[in-house]
Structure formats: structure tokens, C-alpha cells
């Protein structure tokens, strides 16, 4: 943890690094797939961040052929979900269910306090729930996040 905070003094431009701003302002894979092979709506009731993720599987029924999201909330939650969609496209559901959140956090690339961490993993958690439902697999749930 100590190391995560070490960079916290970095400053304004670092924190909202261009990468995050870019994903926030120009979200990738934005929208909704209908009908979807897997879907879930996630919400962080503490700050009101929301994302809805929909997935279309390839013919093998397990490879993520397409994934889209809609949502609203803070820059971290929306940008990290946008990054997530790029990371998981083409991967198999089982692989994404085992996806380590650090892989996503590395992509987000800025140090986050525990409160903001919840924002950063909202999309990942929601996607895991969606995939878990579609495949019947267990997910490692975060209790602070509501998923419908």
C-alpha cells in the first residue's frame, strides 16, 4: 500500500493523466448490445457511480466478441471501465472471471486511495457478475457494490 501512495504527491496532471482524461471524454466501446449474451448494472451507492455492461460472445459461447458499456459517475469509474473493455475483448469468460484487478489498476496507472479504488474497479466487478451469471461461475463479490 505504502508504494501506491508514494506517487500521490505527483500532482494534478499526473493524477488525471492524459490517458484517463482521454478515456473519460472519449469512452471506448460505449453503448449497449441487444440482445446481450451477458449483462449487469453496477452501482456504487456511496458515490452514485453507475455502469451497465453488455457482452456478446463469439460462436464458441465463451470468447468475448464484443463488450459495451454505458454509465455515469466520476472520471475514474468511467475511464477505468472504458479501459477494461479494451483489455477483455477477445478473452474467454473464464479468463476474465479470474482477471486480477491489479492488471486493470496498472492500466489506470495512478495511485488511488481506498475510496477511489472502489470507483476504479466498479466496471470490473460488474463485468465479472455479468459473466458469472451467464456461465454459472462464482465471482469474488465486493460487498460495497450493488449489481442488478
Partner 1 sequence: MAVTAKPTLDADKLRADFPIFDQSFHGKPLAFLDSAASSQKPRQMLEAMTRFYETSYANVHRGVYQLAERATEALEAAREKSCRLINAPEAREVIFTRNATESLNLVAYAWGLTNLGPGDVVLVTELEHHSNFVPWQYIAGRTGASFRMLPLDAGGELRLDELEAVVGRGTAKVVATNLVSNSLGTVNDVARLAAWAHERGAIMVCDAAQAVPHKRVDVLALGCDFLAFSGHKLCGPSGIGVLWGRAELLEAMEPFLLGGHMIKKVRLEETTWGDLPHKFEAGTAPMAEAVGLGAAIDYLGEIGFEAIEQHEHELVEYALGRFSELPSVTLYGPPADRRAGIVSFNVDGVHPHDVAQILDLEGVAIRAGHHCCQPLMTKLGVAATNRASFYLYTVPEEIDRLVEGVRKAKKLLG
Catalytic residues: 47, 119
Summarize the chain as % helix, strand, coil (round to 5). 45, 20, 35
Q: How many residues form the binding site for partner 1 (CB under 8 A)?
A: 19
Q: Which stretch binds partner 1 (CB under 8 A): 44-52, 84-92, 97-105, 139-147?
A: 44-52
Residue 122: CB atoms within 10 A of its CB come to 31
User: Shortest Cβ distance from residue 56 to partner 1 (Å)?
Assistant: 29
Among residues 47 and 56, whose Cβ is nearest to partner 1? Answer: 47
CA–CA distance, 50 with 73 (Å, rounded to integer): 6
Asked if 24 interacts with partner 1 (CB under 8 A), we say yes
Are the C-beta atoms of residues 52 and 70 closer than 8 Å to each other? Answer: yes
Among residues 54 and 77, whose Cβ is nearest to partner 1? Answer: 77
First CA to last CA across the chain, in angstroms?
31
CA–CA distance, 131 with 137 (Å, rounded to integer): 8
Q: Is 25 helix (H, G, I), strand (E, B) or coil?
A: helix
Among residues 116 and 125, whose Cβ is nearest to partner 1? Answer: 116
Asked if 12 interacts with partner 1 (CB under 8 A), we say yes
Q: Which stretch binds partner 1 (CB under 8 A): 42-50, 62-70, 93-101, 136-144?
A: 42-50
Site residues, partner 1 (CB under 8 A): 8-9, 11-12, 15-16, 21, 24, 46-49, 73-76, 115-116, 119
Amino acid at each position: 500500500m505504502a508504494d501506491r501512495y508514494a506517487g500521490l504527491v505527483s500532482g494534478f496532471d499526473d493524477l488525471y493523466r492524459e490517458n484517463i482524461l482521454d478515456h473519460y471524454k472519449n469512452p471506448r466501446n460505449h453503448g449497449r448490445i441487444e440482445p446481450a449474451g451477458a449483462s449487469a448494472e453496477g452501482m456504487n451507492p456511496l458515490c452514485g457511480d453507475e455502469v451497465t455492461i453488455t457482452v456478446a460472445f463469439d460462436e464458441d459461447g465463451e470468447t468475448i466478441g464484443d463488450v459495451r458499456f454505458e454509465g455515469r459517475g466520476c472520471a475514474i469509474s468511467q475511464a477505468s471501465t472504458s479501459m477494461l473493455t479494451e483489455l477483455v475483448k477477445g478473452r474467454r469468460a473464464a479468463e476474465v472471471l479470474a482477471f486480477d484487478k491489479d492488471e486493470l489498476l496498472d492500466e489506470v496507472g495512478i495511485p488511488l486511495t481506498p475510496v477511489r479504488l472502489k470507483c476504479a474497479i466498479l466496471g470490473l466487478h460488474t463485468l465479472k457478475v455479468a459473466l458469472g451469471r451467464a456461465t454459472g461461475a462464482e465471482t469474488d463479490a465486493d460487498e460495497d457494490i450493488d449489481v442488478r
